[in-house]
Amino acid sequence: MSDANVRIPEEARDRLAAIAAAEGLSLRAYLARLAETLLTPAERAERAERARAALQEWNGYAPTTSEECDLDSELDRRLAQVTAR
């Protein structure tokens, strides 16, 4: 496996290194594990579509685009409330 250099602010590097050390990992190992666990936008979209299809098959749930936007807005509002605390 080849290595790559990534330029990030020193503060971000130090924070990631501290998180990695707290988990008993090197920064390299922590970033590799992080990359394995995060989804790409395409993977998130595919997973969301599968979830929508499963819900529709299971109980007929099929929100309109407008309903999805309203639900997304409500989720954003609630997340903002929680993170503001």
pLDDT tens digits along 6-16: 999 999 999 99
Q: What is the pLDDT of residue 10?
A: 97
pLDDT tens digits along 17-43: 999 999 999 999 999 999 999 999 999
How far separated are the first and last CA of the chain, in Å rounded? Answer: 43
Tokens of 77: 């509002």
Residue partners of 35: CB distance under 8 A and separation at least 6: none
